[in-house]
Every structure is written in structure tokens, then in C-alpha cells.
Amino acid sequence: MPLLNRETRPAGHFLRSFGNEIGLLVAVLVVIGITTYFSDSYRMKPSQNAKEILRQTALLGIFALGAGTVIISGGIDLSSGSVIAFSATICTSIILLLSPLVDNSPDTYDLSLWILLAAFAGTLLAAFLVGSFHAWLITSIGLPPFVATLASLVGLRSLARLLIEDVTRFVYDKQTGSSQIYIGDDFYHQLGSVWWIPVVTFLLLSFFLWLLLSKSVYGRHLYAMGGNEEAARLSGIRTERLKWMAYCIGSVTAAIAGILYSSEISMAEPANNGMGYELSAIAAAVVGGCGLSGGIGSIGGIMLGAVFLRVVIDAVAKIFKQKPDILEGLVVGGLVVLAVAFNELRGTGGLRKQFFPGALGILNVLILTVLAGAITAVTSTTDKLRNGIIAAVVTLLLLGAAAIRERINASRATIPR
Amino acid sequence: MPASPHIKIRNVGKRYGGVVALTGVSLGIIAGEFHAIVGENGAGKSTLMKIIAGVISDYEGELRLRGEPARFTGTRDAEALGISIIHQELNLVEELSAAANIFLGREKRNAFGLLDDRAMQREAGKLFEQLECHISPAGPVRELRVGDQQLVEIAKALSLQSEILIMDEPTSALTETEVQRLFRVIERLKSSGVTILYISHKLDEVFRMSDRVTVLRDGQLVTTVNTSETSPRDVTHLMVGREIEEVDLGSERSPGDSVLAVENLSLPWAGHARKWRLQDINFQLRRGEVLGIAGLMGAGRTELLECLFGTSAEKPTGQIVLDGESVQFSHPADACRAGIALVTEDRKRLGLFAEMSVRENITLCTLDEVASIGLIGAGAERQSAAESVELLGVKTDGVDAPVMSLSGGNQQKCVIARWLRTQPKVLLLDDPTRGIDVGAKAEIYKVIDQLCRDGMGIIVTSSELPELITLCDRILVLCEGRQTGEFSREDFREQAIMEAATMRE
């Protein structure tokens, strides 16, 4: 029997359960602290900035929760960006079709409530059908989740674009359709743009999913399936039903986000809505501690992952005075690599392992050098060349030293034959 | 330089978080000896071997090889210096062929620098010939049974032609005949000067083969002795640190009425020359009876249990009558509800949820009992888990400990506990003591005996015949999918049962 250090057990247990969440929380506070120090905007208009970050976080968080749930179940849902575009199209189309006609053309200003409710219900139903379709492809046909949802990722957006042409042509009775639908109603516009509405939606949804995943029998079964699907099936768990549930949560949360995004801009434009958002959602889940192999992760983690992602994007934008949407990809990409690498290394105690072995290691010292230089140069506002070169040289020296040290240690470790 | 230590380890220790797996172990291995390492589950045997083989690279203490300090960063380093290991848990790439697995990372190439599959398969075939087994070198490993997969692992280690060969329970999935073949190979290796480090729970193997024995307990070295100067009884005593009473099972059990009847059960095997995985199986199981299924690997033991549990690859024909009602299950959930439980053969792959705690592993099948309106009652769940832990004597640091922090035997108890909570009428145990040490085995035997006396019908398979003889009231023998014998307790003779198990047309 292993000897146990009983005195450290309660703290150990707490850290084991919530270590990831605590780490993220600290990281969020540190990033906010640094940004406050460097950016005038945070100091001058704290509440405006806070509201905007919260609203953005909530919008991302809503469908990140869905993406995370699917990841915990052992699958992956790549379709959320397209489901957002598709849902926006469905929602605005229903509104358009139900709006009263004025001079033979629908009037979307001052809509009655039942029209909006019918549109939301229709959109969520459509999303439920999308999720059910995914589940059927995966459980009955046997497609890998990656393929099934990848097909939706490209297919649904196309479908939405075709749909919106026909709907607009029909409603406005014209020869050519339009690639977007505009909704003039003020209340509809407020849903996504008044900061607290997405935030409250996000919190309610989080609470509901936390209850489902962490407290309910279904949730426990979902974690079990994600961790070891075959063992779960042999334990009498109906895995196909759980997958159905998981993929529906994935698409329905994306649909809720889709409604809010379209409300924010008062329109649907499926060619551009939610472009690439699926990766941000997966990134938030992974940064929040969901393991891509399934069975690991928590709602709290996903929430904090979304917060962290948005805070960092905003911080980088503020500090380097760039447009957030240009920087977003770089930040998301970098954070995902760092988060997953961190989890891997922590799990295997691998800080002692060799990071730059062989020719691949040398090449990557150079790649990281060039990356550091290039990123520094493009984010600098003045003296781009000088800053880039400085960053590159510093990186080269640091990583080069590490690579050399590793080689010395490695040659010591094994004795000559 | 005979008798000088080939490997010398000094003050070696290893901890996983707060758990000390090994502490202050010093040991010398002499060149050319057969050195057995014994100890209970969690005694630190595998950890020690993994350190020597370079699997674990961050440990305390010092390892010297031929007098030179060595610190391996991986198995490659160790292999380069002539140390290889056969792991207890199988480490094969299931999609690749047996030959490809054996030469993984050291592939043979032809004049054009392309893979020379033919040469590798020829070599692999030779190794299998040495092991006297009939494994197709070109067939994917996934299609092999566990026993054959273990033989592939052994062949892989042999192909490295190491000077020091570490074997971590190589026989745990082998049948008696395969074990005999393996021992003949080991004898040959020994006579050619290979040093062998051998972990086993089977003391008869240890005493038959080894020169010296090292006993570990609770991560510490108890002693190293010459095998000729000790006895199995003494070694057992040293291992557990207490006397274990001789288990006397099976006496005065009184089986009741029939709970399960199997009539003309056959399981088709599409696309195979034999056409049937199982053919015309007939038997009855009574309440309060332990029925053993004996047979070599590939005899259909696991397949039979899968048919009863409704998870066979294809639909079986014939009848399964449970409690007087003819049943046919299409999903394990149905079998579960009807009162059948299956503890699977491959614990790691099919039984355990590695990411979960002891509590979650135990209560998974019976969450509805501790839940109201679908929400799990934390207190009630904890209580149930604690109850099971207590009942089966699971050694754990509380019910919330990660299940992977437990030793193999205790992990197995958690899986059994999960199924016992469903209060099954019929309990199916597929090789339940595979890779489990003496102490834990005896405890599991006692649990089985008690369940049987409480009126449960139990079917157990095992790759170790003596185990079935200890446990069972009746033994059914399978050979290549057919029923070739049935023995009741008074007729149990190892010889006769083995003959039935190897009966060919």
C-alpha cells in the first residue's frame, strides 16, 4: 500500500479539484492588472470597458459551453461558427416572414412580442435538429465527430446563404434576392447590445449546464463516456443517447449565441456571421481545462477560459493599439498552444524533458526567433525594424542557451558504451 | 568479472505527488542471474523495474551499470545499453501487424531504403517459432487475444537481444502451456548469459526459475535471499508482513434452484474457416454456485460471457433462460436491468474510468439510487461508495482518491464493487485476478465465496486452472468454441481438465 502524506491531503484534494480554475482566475487578474497599468482606457473608462468585455465574454462563453460539453463527452463540434450564421438567418427569416406588411413590404420596426418568441423557438428547434443530425451521423452511420461536424461547418453556411436569397426574394417579391436581412426593431437590437442581457443569459445557461454536468446522473455518465466510451457502454450506459444530448447542447448554445450576435448588429449576413468562431469556442474550452481526449473539464473552467481569452484579446488590443479582430487569431492560436502544452507538461511532470532535441529542435529555435521578431515588429507602432530585431536576438539567445544546456545535460546522462 | 554487481542501485526512491511508491531501495543484480522481484500490489516492484529500464527518469538515488553511473532519459537509452523491459500492461500498436510491432522504431529496410516487410515478418516468424506459438506475423495485433498479444511483447523484447531482460509479470495472461514454452525460452536465454529480472505473483514460478529473490513491501526493500535458502511460505510471510490463513473455500456450499440456463448457444464467426466462435453450448447455473469456465486462450471463454451479457460482436443463436424467462439482450443496459453483471477481462481498457475517483468508479451503475429528480445526492453517493469500500476492503486514501492511485488489485475491487451495487442475480467474472498479487487474490476469493453463499450465481473464467479449482463448484471446459468437458468438485483433477481443454478433433 502506498504511504500517504496525510497532512497535505485536504489542500491537495482542493488543488486537484480546482487547481486549473484558480490558476485561470489568477491569470485573468494579472492580465487585467498589467493592462490597467499600460492602458489609459482602462483607467479612464473602467465601467465601460468592463461592460464591453463582459458582453463579449458572455457571447463567446455561451457557445463555448456547448463546444466544451461536446469535448467532455469525448467528441468535437466544429460547426458552431456556421450554426451561428445559420441560426441568425433562420431567426431573421422567421421575423421577416411574420412581420406585418406595409405597402407590400414587411415592416420590421416595432414588432409584437409573439413574432420574436416564434422566431426564437423556431431557431432553437432548427438547432436541435442540426444537433440531432450530427448525433445520427456519428452514432448510427459511424462517422467520426470531426467529419460529421466539419461537413456542417462548410455546408450549413452555404445553406444559410442560399436560404437568405430565396427568403428575401420571396418576401420583397423581387427578381434578385439579398445576401442579408435587416431587422429594424429596437427591442431586438437591444438583446445583444445591452451589456447585461448576454451576461445574464450566459450565467443562467452556465448554471443550468453546471447542474447537468456536475450534479446530475446524465452528467456523470457523460464524463464516464468521455473518459472511456467502451467501459461506459459495458456499464449499461446508453452512450448514443448521451451523444445526442451533447451534440444538441453544442448546436443549441451556438444558436442562442447566433440570435444574440444577429441582434447586436440588427441583421443576419450568413456570408460573414460567426466566421471562424468554432475555433474560439474550442480554444476557450481547452484553455479552460477541457482535455481533447474527453472526460476532463468543467463548466467553471470553460467560463474562465472564455473570460481569459477575451481579457487577453482586449489587453493586447489596448496595449498595442490594434483592432481586436485582427489580433484575435494570433492570441487564440498562441493561447491554445500554451494552455495545452502547460497541461501536458504539468500532467507528465515533463519540465525536465528535452524541448529542443535534434535538428527539429534547432530549426524550432530559429522558427521561434523569427516569430518573436515578426510579431514584435507588426505590433510595434514605431521603430518596427529595431524592435523586431531586438526581440528576435533576445529570443535566439535565450532559447539557444536552453538548447545548448539541454545538449550538455543529455550527453552527461548516458555513459559511453 | 563474475559475481560483481551488473546493476547497482543505491537509495532509489520515487514519489507521485504525496504518494511514496518507493523509498531507499538499494540492490545489486549479478550478471547472468535470474533475479525474482516479489511483493504485494503497490509494493513498488513495477516502479523499481521502470526506473532500471529508463521508463521513469525522474527519481531519487543512483543507478550504476557496470560500475558507471547511469541516468537514462528514456527507454531508448536503456536499450542502447542492453536493458529491455516487457511491460505488464500491453504496449502495442493495435493497428499494426505483429511483425511491425516487434520492429517498431528499428524497422528493417531494403536496398532502396524502403520498409522490408518480408524480412521483418520472417524474423518475427522465427521469434514466434522460438516461443512455439502460432501467431501470424502479418496479421494486425488488434485481432489477437490478450495472451497472444503478450507473446508479441515477449518476442519484441527477445528481438532486442538484450543483456538484461526485465519481465513484469509476463505470464499473467498466458495459459499453462504457453507458460511452459516461455520458461523453455528463458532457460535458453539464461544459459547464453542473459541477466533476467522477473516480477511475478506466482511463487511457484519464482521458486522454479530464480537464483535469488528480492522482496519489496510498501515501497521498501525487505530482503534479498538465495532462492535455495528460503521457502514459498517464508516469502509470502515477508511479502505481506503477516500470516495469511489458508483459504478454505467451497466446502458446504448448498446451491439452490437454477437461475440461468443456456441451451444450444452458438455464436457465428463470419468470414472465418471455423464458422463458429461458440458452438452448441449447454449448461445450467444455480443460485449459490460458482461455475468455472476453463479453456486456453481463444477457446471462447470471453465470448461466452459476452453472449450472456449481450455484447457479443454478432447475435448468438440458441436460448438463454434467466430466472425461467427466455432473454435476449441487445445492449448491456438490458442485461444490467435483468440482473446480470460482467466484470471484464481487460480492466484498464474496458473496466476503469481512469480520470475518475474511487467513488465515481463505484457508483456509476447505480447513480439512480442516490439521485432524486436526476440530481446526484452527494452525501448519499459518498455513503454508498464508503459502504462498498468497507465491504470489499478496498485500500484507498478515502473515496475521493483518484482510482489510478490504487494498486491493480484494489482497482479491480472497485470494478467488482460497481457491479455488486447493482445487486445482480448472476455475476460474470472474466479472469478477475489477472495481474493481481497473492494477498489481493485471496481477498477476492473470499468475496466471491461470500457472494455465492448469499445466493448469487457466479460464473468465473481464469487462465490459471488452480484458481478455478480453488474457487468453483463446477468447471465447464471449452476448446476452440466447443464444450469438451464438465467436472464437478469431487472430480477436479488438473490433468483431466487440461486434457479436455486441449482436445482436438
Domain with CATH 3.40.50.300 in chain B: 5-240, 244-339+424-505
| Contact flag B80-A417 (C-beta cutoff 8 Å) | yes
Amino acid of residue B127: L
- CATH says B244-339+424-505 is which class? alpha beta
Check whether B3 has a pLDDT greater than 50: no
Check whether B144 has a pLDDT greater than 90: no
| Contact flag B351-A223 (C-beta cutoff 8 Å) | no
Check whether A415 has a pLDDT greater than 50: no
User: C-alpha angle with apex B453: B448 to B459, nearest 5 degrees?
Assistant: 45
- Residue A252 backbone phi and psi in degrees, to 5: -65, -40
Query: How many of the other CB atoms lie within 10 Å of CB of A48?
Result: 12
Among A5-14, A285-294, B112-121, B347-356, the least confident range: A5-14
* Cα A127 from Cα A230, distance rounded (Å): 28
Is the ipTM higher than 0.85? The answer is: no
Task: Give B307→chain A minimum CA distance, Å.
Answer: 13
Residues A202-218: tens digit of each pLDDT: 999 999 999 999 999 99
CB A96 within 8 A of CB A106: yes
C-alpha dihedral sign at A252, A258, A264, A266 = negative
Q: In this predicted structure, what is the pLDDT of residue B269?
A: 82
Q: In this predicted structure, what is the pLDDT of residue A183?
A: 93
Helices (H), B276-373: 301-309, 332-338, 358-363
| Contact flag A238-B333 (C-beta cutoff 8 Å) | yes
Q: In this predicted structure, what is the pLDDT of residue B251?
A: 67
CA distances from A327 to A33, A323, B404 (A): 20, 7, 42
Q: Which three cell numbers stand for residue A195?
A: 451589456
Q: In this predicted structure, what is the pLDDT of residue A412?
A: 66
CB B219 within 8 A of CB B58: no
* Cα A372 from Cα A376, distance rounded (Å): 6
User: C-alpha angle with apex A162: A161 to A165, nearest 5 degrees?
Assistant: 90
Grade residue A2 by pLDDT with cuts at 50, 70 and 90: very low
The residue of chain A with its CA nearest to that of B21 is: A2
Domain locations in chain A as residue ranges: 21-348, 358-412
Q: In this predicted structure, what is the pLDDT of residue A416?
A: 42
Q: In this predicted structure, what is the pLDDT of residue A6?
A: 37
Q: Which of A13, A216, A417 sits opposite B375 (nearest CB)?
A: A216
Grade residue B2 by pLDDT with cuts at 50, 70 and 90: very low
Q: In this predicted structure, what is the pLDDT of residue A309?
A: 92
Determine which of A14, A221, A235 to mutate to test the interface with B (most B C-beta atoms within 10 Å): A235
Of residues B321, B315, B291, B287, the one with CA closest to residue B303: B315
CB B498 within 8 A of CB B295: no
Among A136-145, A263-272, A274-283, A372-381, the least confident range: A372-381
Q: Which positions in chain A touch B367 (Cβ < 8 Å)?
A: 217, 220-221
- The mean pLDDT value for A159-178 works out to 91
C-alpha dihedral sign at A84, A86, A87, A91 = positive
Q: Which positions in chain B touch A297 (Cβ < 8 Å)?
A: none
- Residue B278 backbone phi and psi in degrees, to 5: -135, 145
Q: What is the dihedral of CA B108, B110, B114, B115, to 10 degrees?
A: -30
The residue of chain B with its CA nearest to that of A220 is: B364
Residues A356-414: tens digit of each pLDDT: 888 999 999 999 999 999 988 888 878 889 999 999 999 999 999 988 988 887 776 55
Most confident stretch, A144-158, A397-411, B131-145, B345-359: A144-158
Q: Which positions in chain A touch B400 (Cβ < 8 Å)?
A: 13
| Contact flag B353-A1 (C-beta cutoff 8 Å) | no
Q: In this predicted structure, what is the pLDDT of residue A82?
A: 97
Q: In this predicted structure, what is the pLDDT of residue A164?
A: 95
- The mean pLDDT value for B94-119 works out to 86
Amino acid of residue B173: A
Q: In this predicted structure, what is the pLDDT of residue B250?
A: 62
Q: Which three cell numbers stand for residue B169?
A: 509479470
**In which residue are the cell numbers 466484470 written?**
B343
Q: What is the dihedral of CA B315, B319, B320, B323, to 10 degrees?
A: 150
| Contact flag A349-B58 (C-beta cutoff 8 Å) | yes
Check whether A11 has a pLDDT greater than 60: no
Share of chain B above pLDDT 90, in %: 30
Determine which of A8, A216, A414, A417 to mutate to test the interface with B (most B C-beta atoms within 10 Å): A414
What is the three-state SS of chain A? CCEECHHHHHHHHHHHHHHHHHHHHHHHHHHHHHHHHHCHHHHHCHHHHHHHHHHHHHHHHHHHHHHHHHHHCCCCCCCHHHHHHHHHHHHHHHHHHHCCEECCEECCCCCCHHHHHHHHHHHHHHHHHHHHHHHHHHHHHCCCHHHHHHHHHHHHHHHHHHHHHHHHHHHHCCCCCCCCEECCCHHHHHHHHCCHHHHHHHHHHHHHHHHHHHHEHHHHHHHHHHHCHHHHHHCCCCHHHHHHHHHHHHHHHHHHHHHHHHHHCCEECCCCCCCCHHHHHHHHHHHCCCCCCCCCCCHHHHHHHHHHHHHHHHHHHHHHCCCHHHHHHHHHHHHHHHHHHHHHHHHHCHHHCCCCCHHHHHHHHHHHHHHHHHHHHHHCCCCHHHHHHHHHHHHHHHHHHHHHHHHHHHHHHCCCC
Per the model's pLDDT, the better-predicted residue between A51 and A319 turns out to be A51
| Contact flag B352-A13 (C-beta cutoff 8 Å) | no
Task: Give B82→chain A minimum CA distance, Å.
Answer: 10
Residues A218-256: tens digit of each pLDDT: 999 999 999 999 999 999 999 999 999 999 999 999 999
Q: In this predicted structure, what is the pLDDT of residue B115?
A: 86
Grade residue B365 by pLDDT with cuts at 50, 70 and 90: very high
The gap from C-alpha B97 to its chain's centroid, in whole angstroms, comes to 23
Per the model's pLDDT, the better-predicted residue between B181 and B302 turns out to be B302
CATH number among 3.40.630.30, 3.30.1490.20, 3.50.50.60, 3.40.50.300, domain B5-240: 3.40.50.300
CA distances from B412 to A24, A292, A415, B355, B437 (A): 36, 27, 41, 16, 12
Q: Which positions in chain A touch B311 (Cβ < 8 Å)?
A: 233-234
User: C-alpha angle with apex B124: B122 to B129, nearest 5 degrees?
Assistant: 95
- Give chain A's contact residues with B (Cβ, < 8 Å): 1-5, 8-9, 12-13, 16, 211, 215-218, 220-221, 223-224, 227-228, 230-238, 295-296, 349, 352-354, 410, 412-415, 417
| Contact flag B355-A227 (C-beta cutoff 8 Å) | yes
Q: Which positions in chain A touch B349 (Cβ < 8 Å)?
A: 228, 230-231
Check whether B336 has a pLDDT greater than 50: yes
Among A133-137, A142-146, A159-163, A334-338, the least confident range: A334-338
Residues B34-81: tens digit of each pLDDT: 999 988 766 788 889 889 988 888 888 888 888 888 888 888 888 888
Check whether B246 has a pLDDT greater than 60: no
CB B54 within 8 A of CB A38: no
- What's the burial of B166, exposed, middle or buried (CB within 10 Å: 0-12/13-18/19+)? buried
Q: Which positions in chain A touch B368 (Cβ < 8 Å)?
A: 217
**B364 secondary structure, DSSP code:** G
Per the model's pLDDT, the better-predicted residue between B9 and B504 turns out to be B9
Check whether B131 has a pLDDT greater than 50: yes
C-alpha dihedral sign at B41, B42, B46, B49 = negative
* Cα B469 from Cα B489, distance rounded (Å): 8
Check whether B180 has a pLDDT greater than 90: no
Q: In this predicted structure, what is the pLDDT of residue B252?
A: 72
Q: What is the helix (H) or strand (E) element at residue B117, kind and residue range?
A: helix B117-130
The residue of chain B with its CA nearest to that of A346 is: B17
Q: Which positions in chain A touch B329 (Cβ < 8 Å)?
A: none
Most confident stretch, B112-116, B237-241, B315-319: B315-319
* Cα B206 from Cα B201, distance rounded (Å): 8
Task: Give A344→chain B minimum CA distance, Å.
Answer: 15
Q: In this predicted structure, what is the pLDDT of residue A417?
A: 39
A21-348: what fold? ABC transporter involved in vitamin B12 uptake, BtuC (1.10.3470)
Of residues B86, B121, B79, B84, the one with CA closest to residue B100: B121
- Put simply, whether the predicted model's pTM sits higher than 0.95 gets the answer no
Give the CA radius of gyration of chain A.
24
- The mean pLDDT value for B416-442 works out to 87
Strand partners, B60: B13
Q: In this predicted structure, what is the pLDDT of residue A350?
A: 59
Mean pLDDT in chain B? Answer: 85
CB A308 within 8 A of CB A31: yes
Give the CA radius of gyration of chain B.
24
Query: How many of the other CB atoms lie within 10 Å of CB of B7?
Result: 20
**B188 secondary structure, DSSP code:** H
Contacts A–B by Cβ distance under 8 A: 137
The residue of chain A with its CA nearest to that of B371 is: A217
CB B307 within 8 A of CB B316: yes
Residues B207-242: tens digit of each pLDDT: 888 999 999 887 888 889 999 998 888 888 887 765
Share of chain B above pLDDT 70, in %: 92
| Contact flag A1-B42 (C-beta cutoff 8 Å) | yes
